[in-house]
A and B are shown apart, each in its own frame.
Chain A
Amino acid sequence: MISRVILVLVLVLCAFSASGIDTGKAFDDPEMQARYERLIAEVRCVTCQNQNIRDSNAFIAADLRREIRRLMSEGKNDAEIQDFLVTRYGDFVLYRPRFSGKTLALWVAPFLLVLFGSVAIFRVVRHRMSLPINDEGQAK
């Protein structure tokens, strides 16, 4: 009984999340449609920053989707469309910001942190391995 109630609640919530966003096909050509869906999944909605414009029903997201459809119909490639967005809204609008002087730290910092961490662990472990084994439990 309870599981049935939960199921109904989950279904109702799912219905809400699906409403309000235009899910209709934008292009007849399945290849274009796939490209369109990939593009809008990687563009941040500028008012509702933790959503992409595919999942957002904010008007600005709808407008940006329309602009992307227009640019695609005009034959623009992905880089040109991303250029269009970055010129207006900055690197922030792309979920994967492009590699540039401004985004250098963003791209490089994680690798540097992993490198520093590895060096630190390596040195600590090597230091401990060189310690004499004098613990009672291990000395037996």
Chain B
Amino acid sequence: MNRFLLPLIAVLLLIPFMILGLRSDPSELPSQYIGKPAPEFNLPTLKDPTRYISTADLRGQVSLVNIWATWCAGCRAEHGFLMQLHKDQEVPIYAINWRDNRDDALKWLAQLGDPYVASGFDADGRVGIDWGAYGAPETFLLNADGHVVYRFTGPLSPAMWEQEFVPRIAELEK
């Protein structure tokens, strides 16, 4: 037997793993909630602290849950596109305003427009942690049963919307 045969086989077996390793982005953590019910929460809304928004409000239709904050540059970058989605009435967008200042957040919505059905005000960041958020913005796609179908991290753009969300929403609304 050729003495190089075994090492060669070993290297060939390793190559697919190396390619996978090069292609995977270690900063992208998969959401632990894909296929599972969205984490429970009950938060006062940004605009009216006496009103509450909870997981129950997310059931009954396909929806988006956007985690945003005024300290988040990516949120400003995607805000225009969220306004576009809101105008086109693609899907209702709910929000968790994460570790923010209420006045700043209200000013932001007054200046840039409010694409959200409602924003829950998560002042101490506990709901963000419950959702497994590790940065902002993050956008979750929920089905009508309130289960998480997909999570997108980073600012949304028309291209990413077409690529990641449109086919999934079409599938859900079939």
Chain A residues with a Cβ under 8 A of chain B: 46-47, 49, 59-60, 63-64, 67, 86-90, 92, 120
CA distance A118 to B151 in the complex (A): 44
Contact A47 B135 (CB under 8 A): yes
B107 at the interface (CB under 8 A from A): no
Which residues of chain A come closer than 8 Å to B131, judged between CB atoms?
Answer: 88
Given A67-B126, A67-B129, A89 contacting B135 (CB threshold 8 A): no
Cβ distance A13 to chain B, nearest Cβ, rounded Å: 26
Cβ distance A59 to chain B, nearest Cβ, rounded Å: 7
Contact B30 A90 (CB under 8 A): yes
Cβ distance A18 to chain B, nearest Cβ, rounded Å: 24
Which residues of chain B come closer than 8 Å to A67, judged between CB atoms?
Answer: 126, 129
Given A46-B134, A59-B99, A90 contacting B29 (CB threshold 8 A): yes
Within 8 A of A (CB), among B108-141: 124-126, 128-132, 134-135
CA distance A88 to B134 in the complex (A): 10
Which residues of chain A come closer than 8 Å to B129, judged between CB atoms?
Answer: 60, 63-64, 67, 88
Contact A89 B125 (CB under 8 A): no
Given A87-B32, A89-B32, A92-B29, A47 contacting B125 (CB threshold 8 A): no
B27 at the interface (CB under 8 A from A): yes
Which residues of chain A come closer than 8 Å to B134, judged between CB atoms?
Answer: 46-47, 60, 89
CA distance A63 to B131 in the complex (A): 13
Contact A89 B29 (CB under 8 A): yes
Which residues of chain B come closer than 8 Å to A60, judged between CB atoms?
Answer: 125, 129, 134-135
Question: Nearest CB to that of B133 among chain A residues?
Answer: A60
Which residues of chain B come closer than 8 Å to A92, judged between CB atoms?
Answer: 29
Question: By CB atoms of chain B within 10 A, which of A46, A60, A86, A88 has the most?
Answer: A88
Which residues of chain B come closer than 8 Å to A86, judged between CB atoms?
Answer: 32
**What would 6 A/B residue contacts be, using CB atoms closer than 8 Å?**
A59-B99, A63-B125, A67-B126, A88-B39, A88-B131, A90-B32
CA distance A87 to B29 in the complex (A): 13
CA distance A46 to B138 in the complex (A): 14
Within 8 A of A (CB), among B19-71: 26-27, 29-30, 32, 39
CA distance A92 to B129 in the complex (A): 15
CA distance A88 to B126 in the complex (A): 11
Which residues of chain A come closer than 8 Å to B32, judged between CB atoms?
Answer: 86-90
CA distance A36 to B132 in the complex (A): 21
Given A47-B134, A47-B135, A89-B134, A59 contacting B125 (CB threshold 8 A): yes
